[in-house]
Structure 1
Amino acid sequence: MEITKRREIFFLSELRAIACIAIVILHTFYAVSVYAPDHTARIAALTTRNLMMWAVPCFVMVSGALLLDSAREVTYRKIFRKYIPRVLAALVLFSVVFQIFDDATGESSIQFKTILYGLQNAVTGSGWKHMWYLYLITALYLLLPFYRKIAASLNSKDTYYLLSVYPVWCFYHCCQCCKHLQKNRQHSIFVFIASIPFIFSWVMLLCRNAFAKSRG
């Protein structure tokens, strides 16, 4: 049992490492697309970037597989004293750092108000775009106790039902978002959509364990 658990954790570590490489590629080719010399180069760069879009959901799935494990003790104290403060600290720090970088490389000079603007960006979410992931993780941590209750109460019938309904709902809802919703309205439902891979990873882990037991 312990060996199996270690293999699962090692597998998740490998998955996370591959996702890290994919994220570097994603951001690199996004920058390449901005400064591409012609339309063909821009399309090629954007295509490469889009092929790496699985990386962030992969990180969310790894988090779900680890944090929704019933053998893992996750208390309110741990959530509010360890998980969330760690994310918020990174959010505030890098919001200020990026604002300093913007002022240092732009027309504005670095002043005391640079720090204030950085703090404002952290609160309002108006800083660099890739910081959205920290807001997402914070929201998932806040909802984690409820997700754990859902995962703990699933039986095999519920698992198969969830596996069949969620992908269909996700596809339909994403199509509706692209068709009808404005950008600012998409943000209000983004956390709910992003919770899908978070829970889905745990469901797949349950299915794999159930399959292994049936074979054993």
Structure 2
Amino acid sequence: MKTIYYINTLRTIATLAVVFLHTGAGIFETKHFPIHDITYNTYNLYIQLMRFSVPLFVLISGALFLSPNKNINFNLITKKYVKRIILALIVFGLPMCIIEELFTNAHEMPLWHALINWITGNSWANMWYLYMLIGLYFTTPLIKPFTNNASNKDLIICLIILFILSSLLPTLKHMVLISIAIC
């Protein structure tokens, strides 16, 4: 497959942002700053500015998987991509679930609870991205025919509708609930 250089640049930027995000969040969570302190606000701003990293990784995946040049089907998704994610979850997520269960809960069957947490995605907090990625991978073959055959106008209309459904409506709902609570 042909190398797309801007994708590599975006991957580098997103990777650095994730590292900076986790580093800043780690410092932020271990220190207890007063809420109106300038240091608190600086760390909070820093962390919020790095939050673009995960959506950027999702956009990169979409650009690569939805490319008209890429042949994607459920068989390939399952055998190649999901298999890798599940391997990562087994190697990293399952041991974290077991360790957390052994150290935090005194259940009669901690390994059983650890397995349930691993399957349901209640493992180490940073693993949520891998569970989301599996969902995105399985969604890709469903939307790829639309993206391959849609005109630019169709794609723009679809993006506007998705933006309204995912951003504006939840924000308006939140604002209405706040205004009702204030009255």
Match of 1:25 in 2: 20
| Cα deviation code 1:113-158 (max 9, x no counterpart) | 6654443221122212221111111111111111101201211321
Partner SS for 2:68: coil
Per the TM alignment, residue 55 of structure 1 is displaced from its structure 2 partner at its CA by: 0.3
Name the counterpart of 2:162.
Answer: 166
Q: Unpaired runs of 5+ in structure 2? A: 178-183
Choose between structure 1 and 2: higher helix proportion.
Answer: 1
Q: Give the CA deviation at 1:59.
A: 0.1
Q: State the match for 1:77 in structure 2.
A: 75
- 1:1-216 to 2 correspondence within 5 Å? 6=3, 9-39=4-34, 40=37, 41-99=39-97, 101-102=99-100, 106=103, 116-176=112-172, 178=174
Aligned counterpart, 1:210:
none
Deviation of 1:76 (Å): 2.3
Aligned mates of 2:44, 2:50 — CA distance in 1: 10
Aligned pair in 2 of structure 1 residues 46, 177: CA closer, same or farther (>3 Å)? farther
Q: Is the 1:125–1:132 Cα contact (8 Å) retained in structure 2?
A: yes
Mapped to 2, the partners of 1:90 and 1:134 lie a distance apart of: 8
Q: Give CA deviations for 1:28-50 in whole Å, capped at 9, x if unaligned.
A: 11111112242223332222111
Q: CA–CA distance in 1 between the matches of 2:127 and 2:176?
A: 25
**Structure 1 residues 102 and 136: alpha-carbon distance in aligned structure 2, compared to 1, 3 A threshold:** same
Normalized against structure 2, the TM-score is what? 0.80
How many Å separate the matches in 1 of 2:84 and 2:111? 20
Alpha-carbon offset, residue 96 of structure 1: 2.4
Structure 1 residues 63-112: Cα deviation after superposition (integer angstroms, max 9, x where no partner): 000000111111222111111111112122212232355478x5789xxx
Instruction: Determine the C-alpha separation between the residues in 2 that align with 1:176 and 1:122.
Output: 34
Relative to structure 1, is the Cα distance of residues 35 and 118 closer, same or farther in structure 2, using a 3 angstrom cutoff? same
Amino acid at match of 2:71: E
Residues of 1 paired with 2:68 and 2:135: CA distance?
Answer: 20
The number of residues matched between the two structures is: 173
Percent pairwise identity: 27
**TM-score, structure 1 as length reference:** 0.69
What secondary structure does 1:24 align onto?
Answer: helix
- State the one-letter code of the partner of 1:29: G
Larger mean Cα displacement after TM superposition, 147-156 or 157-166: 157-166
Cα distance in 1 between the residues matched to 2:126 and 2:172: 24
